[in-house]
Structure 1
Amino acid sequence: MRVDETPAGGPASTKRAPNHTAAPATNWIDLARVCAMGAVVLVHAFSPLVSTTHAELGSHSWWAAHVFDSALRWCVPVFVMISGGLLLRPREHEDAAAFYRKRWAKIGVPLIVWTVAYLAWERWRDGIAASDAVAAASSGTPSIHLYFLYVIAGLYLLTPFLRTVVAYTSRAGLWWFAGLALGIGAADQLLGLVEGVGGSTAATQFLPFLGYYLLGWLLMTSDPGPRALRYGAVLFTGGVTATAVGAWAAAAVAGEWGTGAEYVYDFLSPTMVVASVGAFLLLRSAGLKLAAIGGPAARRIGRVVSVLSGLSFGVYLVHVMVLNTLRDIGGTPDGAAAFLAACGYGAATAVISIVLVAVVQRIPYLRATV
């Protein structure tokens, strides 16, 4: 019986009718995924300079890496928002069991395989103890980037429930929900600056990102018109500028790149939330414009972007191993050459990772890991 029908012999139902929001346009997502993947690789290429491992705080190389890094840190939030936008639309014919079966193949297998692979690689490369490996896996951070798998896995577990929330909650209510979740996530990260406070486990890595997941659905189903483009440009510019200035100021006051600067850089810091929303809106606008362009050239570009999008998840998984191997082989110079070296390592890592993933996807059984 539909919720708007009257039960026999009873009063009319007062249960709220579900929100039947039309499926949003998704032909822009391939471009967004490719851009976000490129941003992830570059963030990890520049991070040793920003953290002053290979550059002096305030030097030309540091500033160059810092500005680029500040402008690219929207990558992970955008990935989370894309997942929320695609998966939170209520589906009447997909129950929780069907959803979990489908998503296990996409996230469960890679999570297990790459957790083991990176821990084994770190043990071979750096000789980490078995107890440290267990602790890293238990915290959901077996490598610098694999926390993302634990975040997505946790969000997937909640998705069937969240679909019900989306179906029966007004958009105003969902905006409040997303804003409150992001606020709690930002507060959680801020309290983590207090010595001895904070920390997460593999089971709770996803919680701070719940607001982004809901926000993805709200933004994806919002009006994609010119106003969204203008808002995106303002939010992105303002958020990136505030992140760059704020992190520099925190580092300058402390006299080093420390916890204050790291907080400003965090995906849940207020400035990065603003920049990430702006990046999402800009990528959607750019992708929709690309999809609307006709002609052979546009179609060829679209096919290339589609292929790269299909490789993006695998590239995310393998790129840290590739990047650090290149650094181990080639070394990283200090001073003025550090920034150019980081750019070179980033480009080489992207190309090698794309080729590796394209090969692995053609191998039976192994393709399930990427």
Structure 2
Amino acid sequence: MRVDEAPHSAVAPPAEGPAVPTVSPTAWMGFARVAAMAAVVLVHAYSPFVSTTYTDLGGPTWWTAHVVDAALRWCVPVFIMISGALLLRPKEEDVRGFYRKRWARIGVPLLVWTLAYLLWQFWRDGTGFPDSLAQAASGSPSIHLYFLYVIAGLYVFTPFLRTVVAHTSRTGLWWFAGAALSLGMLDQVSALVDGVGGVTAATRFLPFLGYYLLGWLLVDRGPRPRDAFHGSVAFVLGTTGTVLGAGGIATAAGEWGTGAEYVYDFLSPTMIVASVGAFLLLRAWGTCLAGLGARSRVNRTIAVLSGLSFGVYLVHVMVLYTLRDLGGTPDGLAGLTAAAGYAAATTVVSLLLVAAAQRVPLLRATV
């Protein structure tokens, strides 16, 4: 996702002797962005089955979609952790320059795509001005654009967080991240009480501060030999807990409601565990791929897709909903197959649209 830039790989020769390729510590992030981009598209393709829009609760179709959805919901936390890993590294950078650069990177797309989706929803669904204004004020003008408001809020405080990172012990930072994640979990639990909770565009980022810090801490500590194993265990345990927890609550209630939605939330305990596991796994796998060298066909492809992934995130909902409106969605196995087809077609069409937009000067800044 092109929210933050990092070199895909680097080659550094030793002081003496033949050149020995070494992998940049950020080389794996391109692979992680591409994987998260694909996961986002699949989540939006299958989530209407989970929420019982296209199928009944509890049947084979529902359980299949539920497992797929639950296994991929790490995508947004991973994007946030990648941003934290890149931007919280203490370094000398003018605050004004930082804000100017981040405005170009996230501020312009936030304004443009907020307006674009509000207009599109007015055309598609007849959403009136008061509802559109409420969606924008809440920082969620579309089902996925809340991410821009989260990242924008985190960027506002990044220069100050860098100072905290530079002058706080690692133990203190782990406590800070843990406390922030705990507050995020408490915030989500409190929202289950009727009449409590609610976020705005200005505060939407706050529950995700723990993920932002955690991304830097996990990368700064360096890769460990058993990261892939620990990541696998965390991912399996977290995903299993999400599947069983949300499925059990929905089955007991007889509907997909707030209790099941809480387990699916990015800040539920099971999703935090699954997201950390996915982050460790993607870093391990991405580092292995980066070892092939930046000139390998695989890594050249990953680099191209990574550069397009931010734009794909922004445009894919329009593409997916349009395809689904045109083709319809049947129930049963045919519906699951159609969802996979829509996800694949959406990815291809979105990639082509973003690649074309990046060649147009006025559009390039929006994707």
1:9 alignment partner in structure 2: none
| Letter of the 1:126 counterpart | D
2:299 alignment partner in structure 1: 302
Whole-angstrom distance in 1 between the partners of 2:339 and 2:96 = 45
Whole-angstrom distance in 2 between the partners of 1:172 and 1:60 = 46
1:12 alignment partner in structure 2: none
CA deviation vs aligned residue, 1:112-145 (integer Å, no higher than 9, x gap)? 0000000000000111111111111000010000
Whole-angstrom distance in 1 between the partners of 2:240 and 2:315 = 31
8 A contact 2:293–2:299 mirrored in 1: no
Where do 1:1-370 residues align within 5 Å? 25-92=25-92, 94-293=93-292, 299-370=296-367
Whole-angstrom distance in 1 between the partners of 2:217 and 2:161 = 13
**Could you tell me how far 1:24 is from its partner in structure 2?**
7.4
Whole-angstrom distance in 1 between the partners of 2:333 and 2:256 = 19
CA deviation vs aligned residue, 1:13-65 (integer Å, no higher than 9, x gap)? xxxxxxxxxx9710000000000000000000000001111111111111111
Distance 1:76 1:101, change over 3 A: same
Whole-angstrom distance in 1 between the partners of 2:290 and 2:156 = 32
| Letter of the 1:355 counterpart | L
8 A contact 1:55–1:62 mirrored in 2: yes
Whole-angstrom distance in 1 between the partners of 2:336 and 2:182 = 35
Whole-angstrom distance in 2 between the partners of 1:241 and 1:286 = 22
Whole-angstrom distance in 2 between the partners of 1:25 and 1:336 = 42
Whole-angstrom distance in 2 between the partners of 1:39 and 1:70 = 11
| Letter of the 1:277 counterpart | V
CA deviation vs aligned residue, 1:132-190 (integer Å, no higher than 9, x gap)? 11111000010000000000000000000000000000111001000110010011011
**Could you tell me how far 1:341 is from its partner in structure 2?**
1.1
**Could you tell me how far 1:334 is from its partner in structure 2?**
1.8
Unaligned runs of 5+ in 2: 1-22
Whole-angstrom distance in 2 between the partners of 1:196 and 1:337 = 40
Moved over 2 A (4+): 293-296
| Letter of the 1:322 counterpart | V
Distance 1:352 1:295, change over 3 A: closer
Structure 1, 330-339 or 318-327: larger mean CA deviation? 330-339
8 A contact 1:70–1:265 mirrored in 2: yes
8 A contact 1:49–1:55 mirrored in 2: yes
**Could you tell me how far 1:336 is from its partner in structure 2?**
2.9
Whole-angstrom distance in 2 between the partners of 1:368 and 1:356 = 14
Give the secondary structure class of the aligned counterpart of 1:365: helix
- Count how many residue pairs are aligned between Structure 1 and Structure 2: 345
TM-score using structure 1 length: 0.92
**Could you tell me how far 1:102 is from its partner in structure 2?**
0.7
Across the aligned residues of Structure 1 and Structure 2, the Cα RMSD in angstroms comes to 1.3
2:15 alignment partner in structure 1: none
Whole-angstrom distance in 2 between the partners of 1:135 and 1:293 = 49
**Could you tell me how far 1:293 is from its partner in structure 2?**
2.6
Give the secondary structure class of the aligned counterpart of 1:199: coil
8 A contact 1:141–1:147 mirrored in 2: yes
Distance 1:289 1:24, change over 3 A: closer
Whole-angstrom distance in 2 between the partners of 1:362 and 1:336 = 40
**Could you tell me how far 1:294 is from its partner in structure 2?**
5.3
**Could you tell me how far 1:223 is from its partner in structure 2?**
3.0
Whole-angstrom distance in 1 between the partners of 2:360 and 2:293 = 35
Specify the structure having the higher radius of gyration (Cα): 1
8 A contact 1:185–1:209 mirrored in 2: yes
Whole-angstrom distance in 1 between the partners of 2:294 and 2:194 = 58
Give the secondary structure class of the aligned counterpart of 1:226: coil
Whole-angstrom distance in 2 between the partners of 1:174 and 1:225 = 19
Whole-angstrom distance in 2 between the partners of 1:214 and 1:230 = 23
8 A contact 1:81–1:214 mirrored in 2: yes
TM-score using structure 2 length: 0.92
8 A contact 1:24–1:220 mirrored in 2: no
Whole-angstrom distance in 1 between the partners of 2:294 and 2:164 = 42
Whole-angstrom distance in 2 between the partners of 1:226 and 1:153 = 34
